[in-house]
Structure 1
Amino acid sequence: MPLLSPTAPAKVIHAGLLEYESALAMQRKIHTEIALETSPNTLLLLEHPSVFTAGRRTQDFERPVDGTPVIDVDRGGKITWHGPGQLVGYPIVRLTKRHDVVGFVREIEGALIDACKEFGLNAERYCERSGVWIRDSHGDRKLAAIGIRFAKGITMHGFAINVNPDLSSFDRIVPCGLDDVDVTSIARELGRDISVKEVMPTIEEHILQALGRVS
């Protein structure tokens, strides 16, 4: 259901469980409407059925070795997996001139890190590697991936944070092109069950605050 208060930086659409291709078509439609100034900035929040998607820099050896279909998309980053238990956010927003794509990615990372703190997780950035990470004596573990496309001054694609998904799907690929790190989830780090429904309001709040700073 779309939500938009007079002071909100973006309309929010909770799309539920949505096929990747349908969500991509929705993004493109909204992107066009924002470019034509017929729609406001929009944040899509949803889950996908199990699917692999590959950004422009994905190499063949990073794809599933069993021939599982992969959807090639026009975003940055490499291959990743989406599925139930993972919260996906697509901020489709016109950026102000003072913000570039790197600055936008840093804002999204910061919003997710702040949201994780509210659940007792000490997440952080990882220098030249985008996304949100858990880093401690047990190693480096990626919690959220970010991949953005920027066209006509407007963003597309976005972030995916692992709440409580089946992480075994990541074993079939080289996630985000990183073969030296593990992938984790909020549930695994907390040691308890937690749902997308439980974390969504907190993540939505922090993402909207970030969008207010860049749009």
Structure 2
Amino acid sequence: MNKTIKVLELGRKDYKETWDLQEELFQKVLDTKIKNKREKSELPTDNSFIFVEHPHVYTLGKSGDLANLLLDEKQLAEKGATFYKINRGGDITYHGPGQIVGYPILDLENFFTDIHKYLRLLEEMVILTLAEYGLKSERSKGETGVWLDVGTPFARKICALGVRASRWVTMHGFAFNVNADLDYFDNIVPCGIKDKAVTSLNVEIGQKEVPVDEVKAKLKKHFAELFEAEFLEV
């Protein structure tokens, strides 16, 4: 079992280009697994973790409702945003500057074969990171992602999740609002959930800007501990 994970730091990169890279890495792992099964071999499968920041973009999951995008093509262009219907679970979300977006492309057979556990550990990584900033965050029953003040009229989401998996290989992942422009969320019904707000780490701790690299380092630390993995920077 290969528990080493290659970290790809892409900086700011176009959503479609990053999606294509995800698909390439995802397919490579699938091909290795298919070959192993066909030839009864034991070639190791790679694990990768993409960290990226996207220009303004809205993405709609395969089970999502297009009505949750509140802009037409002209308005999207005016906002400097793009839109993609994609092959992850979940509804609509926004990605943009000031967000840490993470795409783990893992062969879960290197770790554990449980998608539910995988999602809960991604949430736990963010919950533990927020605790280091003095914030108590949690899960909201029936809703993926990480929230603050669950069960109150002030419930607000700080991190969204949406993944795809095939043969225990994962892609897509999480979007964590660190210094995000929250106005862009006004143009959608985030994750298809009405009447609940969205927030960002800098807002919650009253800081103009939180150092992204600092937050990323904390996320990596908690991920490595939770998955008993080792990161390899490439």
Any stretches of 5+ residues in structure 2 without a counterpart?
33-43, 77-81, 230-234
2:219 is the alignment partner of 1:203: yes
Q: Which one of the candidate residues 46, 53, 56 is aligned to 2:52?
A: 46
Question: Structure 1 residue 83: deviation in Å?
Answer: 0.4
Per-residue Cα deviation, 1:9-64 (whole angstroms, up to 9, x for no partner): 31111111011011111111111222233752011111111101110122132012
Question: What SS does the aligned partner of 1:53 have?
Answer: strand
2:210 is the alignment partner of 1:194: yes
1:150 maps to a residue whose letter is: A
Q: Which one of the candidate residues 47, 68, 82 is aligned to 2:95?
A: 82
In the other structure, the counterpart of 2:107 is 94
1:1-215 matches, cutoff 5 A = 9-37=4-32, 40-67=46-73, 68=76, 69-96=82-109, 98-135=112-149, 139-192=154-207, 193-212=209-228
Contact 2:3–2:47 under 8 Å retained in 1? no
Normalising by structure 2, report the TM-score: 0.83
Contact 2:179–2:201 under 8 Å retained in 1? yes
Larger Rg: 2
Contact 1:9–1:208 under 8 Å retained in 2? no
Normalising by structure 1, report the TM-score: 0.90
Query: Structure 1 pair 80/11, CA: closer, same or farther in 2 (3 Å)?
Result: same
Identity %: 36
Tell me how large the CA RMSD over aligned residues is. Answer: 1.9
Q: Which runs of 4+ in 1 moved over 6 A?
A: none
Query: Structure 1 pair 184/173, CA: closer, same or farther in 2 (3 Å)?
Result: same
In the other structure, the counterpart of 1:3 is none
Contact 1:42–1:91 under 8 Å retained in 2? yes
Question: Structure 1 residue 212: deviation in Å?
Answer: 3.0
Contact 1:16–1:47 under 8 Å retained in 2? yes
Question: What SS does the aligned partner of 1:36 have?
Answer: helix
Query: Structure 1 pair 39/100, CA: closer, same or farther in 2 (3 Å)?
Result: closer
The count of aligned residue pairs is 207
**Residues in 2 aligned to 1:31 and 1:170: alpha-carbon distance in whole angstroms:** 29
